[in-house]
A and B are shown apart, each in its own frame.
Chain A
Amino acid sequence: MCSIGEEDFGDEGGAHAMIEDIKSLEIVDEICKKCSNEKSVINIIYAMCKTCFLHYVTHKFRASLSASKIVPSNSKVLLNFSGYAPDVCILDMIDKGLLLEYHKKLRFELEIIYIDEDCLNEGNDINDLKRRYERIDKVKKILEQFVKFKCHYSSIANKYIVLPLDDIKENDMNAVINDEIKLLAYLKSLKSSTCKQDYVDIIRNENLRHIANQLNCQFVFLTDTTIDLAKRFISNMALGRGSSVAFDVSFCDDRVKSIRFLRPIKNVNMIEVESYIKLKDLDVIGAQKEISNTNQLSIQNVTSQFIDGLQQNFSSTVSTVARGCSKIAPYKKSNQSNHVNGEISSKLNQTSASVTDINQRCYLCKSFLDYQNSETLYAIEFSRFVSEAAADIEHILKNTEKIEEKAMSEVNSNENEFKKHLCHGCRNIFIGSSDDILAEIFQ
């Protein structure tokens, strides 16, 4: 049958009208269209010389910061740095911005955190200290290209470890390895690569907030580019995180008001980042941060491949998706009556005092709880209960109200002390895992 839904057709014509682009990025031998002086070196929106291109990228970065006016003078900012091209690109722009003349000078204090995620790649031997030190040395060497910033080291496995990057001793690494073994054992108990990746994304954010708090930084700069946002927008929708996706793809993620995540190069695409690095001849570890275990089938990896494919043939679609990110807002319920009782709620209040309206938040990702009275989640639970009772239609007819109540109770997790504190996306992480595994995160 016709596979084209009526929803495809709006005032601007059909979706199928999106045609493959044949845009060429070839450097053309002509004069810069912007300054009309220099010979062009790149053709992004038009032919540009090196100076104009670098100014164009820097302007995107600075404009996002100045338009939002979120970062006040003398704030402390933490940069999440792994040594990849977007990290180096943003660090270079900050480095130059801090040295500028009075009116254009960036007025914040920067510190850098390198979070070691070596253990997440299944191919890596976590006990191979030589290899691990080499990696850290490589990051240090990249950082030497810039003004001396305070640089810290931490591990994805333990947010409490924050060490000076210049001085990591063997004892410290041994402690890190112990924590990594525990984290890997926990990840093993989660049922799929999708769940593992989703959980790691959440603890990475949690670690960054904790470290920023420890270092007295109010802001964390993330180095997400346009394609990262497009990938995250779609994969988070597929993970059932529609209610919180706006936080994960917006310029400012302020779900925890005391520590805000900012994405100052969200409007810069990877071609621009790579060209910036090339033209400034900067040293990097690689172009884009590798996602661990890309060979495994997961929602995130399949989405990433899908978007990479679109980038090749329909590059305008990737920027369209990224532009959509700026049109969505975080989910809020005006009069949400989420009664949280018992031990966990008091623990929640104790451990996360900085989150003012914690009773409405997911314990893990800190977004608003989204399951209450969801019709779709209700349909899933109703389906489960009706399947169980399907042998006797008379029984279903007589007990429909009871089945409905049970289904609604399951959606609202009235029987489960842990699940009621998690949003739908975070509940999905623990699909098929025992309640003991779920309970561990509350300890």
Chain B
Amino acid sequence: MVLCKANCGNKAILKRPKTGDALCKECFFTAFECEIHETITKGQLFKSGDKVAIGASGGKDSTVLAYVLKLLNERYKYNLKIVLLSIDEGITGYRDDSLETVKKNRDDYGMELKILSYEELYGWTMDKVVSVIGKTNNCTFCGVFRRQALDRGAKMLEVDCVATGHNADDIAETVLMNILRGDMVRLRRCTKIKTHSNEDAIPRVKPLKYTYEKEIVMYAHFKKLVYFSTECIFAPNAYRGHARMFLKDLEKIRPSVIMDIIHSGEQIQFKENIKKPVLDICQTCGFVSSCQPCKACVLLEGLNRGLPKLGIGKKSKGERMIAQQNLERIHRVKNDF
């Protein structure tokens, strides 16, 4: 029988992947919560009196985040007002079910919940988007719209920051993905615990940055937290799947590899001549973007024009598609006369 490393005399029920220490259930809860508290205080993620929106999907990460943040807020007197912010992408059989979980979280934790739907923001549900674009590029629409929807929701709720449930595994995976894509700009910023797109924008924070996915699952399991664990019906992301499987294979060999990758991502430096993104305000929608107009506006224009592939691929290709359509319209008008 393996005893708890904390010398409490209890039988250990898990081996922590980060350090290899075996802990009993109660000691695991204490250590898990103390570590997240340490991440929050060391990283100065919140200020007293802040209104914080948790990006809540109903999944294990955001559910654990909501539970722990509420607990720590009370235990350490952060003096935060915590609200839940959910995005309804309009995916029947997936998001409608997960939103029920978020609503249960709202009731259990006594937090205000704001649900913003793609339909009210963009006039399109993901079901409708998939019906015109198919299942090859649908995730581009969903991801781009969600990023902006969270910003919009945060602005509506007048919060000081948005806390997301990104865990250590997610960050390590994103480091690998950015290397595989050659995206040095995102590699530079994906390990940051707090991101500001610009000074006026609402910051995003990742309190679970150093928390392993396995521990989040164990915590939710032992605490009997209710979460939704079904994969999206539209997300057969083969490429990210490769990277995820690769990371899992590495983790089997050396569990600390996740922290090592995050450390590497933080330490890596770039040549001075590598361009940095210039963040600006989209002139069409007024939200932060690194291009004009922003990606969300281009994708939306494509959907509304009946050219759903407008924002997929190169900008020049999209411009040619618009020019071609405009030309056809002119011809049609002339013929009508």
Contact = CB atoms under 8 A, between A and B. Distances in A.
A4 interface: yes
B34 interface: yes
| Size category of the binding interface on chain A | 35 or more
Contacts of A370: 263, 267
A378 B43 CA distance: 12
Nearest to B76: A397
Contacts of A349: none
Interface stretch (B77-85, B105-113, B248-256): B248-256
Output the residue of B4, B143, B144, B257 with the most chain A CB within 10 A: B143
A299 B254 contact: yes
A391 B269 contact: no
Given A10-B186, A374-B263, A391-B27, A3 B244 contact: yes
B16 interface: yes
A361 to B, nearest CB: 15
Contacts of A6: 143, 146-147
B175 interface: yes
Given A386-B31, A390-B31, A14 B139 contact: yes
Interface residues of B, number: 99
B88 interface: no
B100 interface: no
A3 B213 CA distance: 13
A395 to B, nearest CB: 10
Q: Which of A1, A192, A424 has the most CB of B within 10 A?
A: A1
A327 B270 contact: yes
Given A1-B232, A388-B6, A15 B142 contact: no
Given A321-B182, A374-B263, A9 B6 contact: no
Contacts of B262: 376
B82 to A, nearest CB: 20
A33 to B, nearest CB: 24
A125 B336 CA distance: 88
B246 A15 contact: no
B130 interface: no
A72 interface: no
Given A5-B170, A390-B30, A243 B268 contact: yes
Contacts of A15: 177, 180-181, 237, 239-240
Given A238-B261, A379-B35, A302 B250 contact: yes
Nearest to B5: A387
A386 B43 CA distance: 18
Interface stretch (A35-43, A212-220, A253-261, A328-336): A328-336
The 7 closest A-B pairs by CB, nearest first: A242-B264, A1-B59, A240-B260, A390-B27, A391-B8, A14-B140, A243-B267
7 contacts: A4-B139, A5-B174, A16-B137, A194-B253, A303-B246, A328-B271, A375-B43
